[in-house]
Amino acid sequence: MTRANLAHRLHDAAEEAAHCTRCPLYRDATQVVFGEGPANAAIMLVGEQPGDKEDLAGQPFVGPAGQVLDRALAEAGLDRAACYVTNAVKHFKHEQRGKFRLHKQPTRGEIQACRWWLDRELEIVRPKLIVALGVTATSSLKGKPVVLSRVRRQILDIEPWRVLATTHPSAILRLRDSDEKEHAFRELVDDLRFALEFLKAP
């Protein structure tokens, strides 16, 4: 299949997803945030769910967590434009507190319901490596809850996919101590370097 055909299939999947009612999250979100990037990308980055900025923009990882991710990718020598970037859950789950919309973690059922769309993206892009950013993405790909520290920086065989689990950029943003923050960021960069080495291996 040519890259244009693959891109066409992704476009169709995104149009279908725009009308998704597979779980209740569509009710309070502005829109579906489908993945974006080359349809034949060797690497797929999977986050948790769109945040406030992503929900408004309709694009994944364009807010503060996206800035951390972009910086880490650049330091690791990975070109974001060459990656397919998506989320385990495609609608923003939140609660309104005054004028703020606060992120809420998706439930197992919501993650499972949205696996339908992640599977569509995976079947089309067929990446050589999936980088799971955080516990929600890793659990979604595993099909069951995982402890991130037990599976981090290993190439997991989740047939037919190879998955590298790492921290979520938002977890770095939440750290208050600047040394801990820097350390967590370095670890993310190292994990992404490891991903790049895997991609380059014959």
Binding site for ligand URA (CB under 6 A): 47-51, 54, 60-61, 63, 65-66, 87, 170
**75, 182 Cβ separation under 8 angstroms:** no
| Bond from prior residue into 160 cis (ω within 30 degrees of 0) | yes
Closest distance of CB 2 from ligand URA, Å: 28
Residue 75: Cβ-neighbour burial (10 angstroms; 0-12, 13-18, 19+): middle
Between 8 and 56, whose beta carbon lies closer to ligand URA?
A: 56
Between 61 and 194, whose beta carbon lies closer to ligand URA?
A: 61
Between 8 and 28, whose beta carbon lies closer to ligand URA?
A: 28
Closest distance of CB 138 from ligand URA, Å: 12
Pairing outcome for strands 161-166 and 155-158:
antiparallel
Between 63 and 127, whose beta carbon lies closer to ligand URA?
A: 63
Strands (DSSP E) contained in 61-200 are: 84-87, 94-97, 100-103, 129-133, 155-158, 161-166
Closest distance of CB 61 from ligand URA, Å: 4
Closest distance of CB 34 from ligand URA, Å: 11
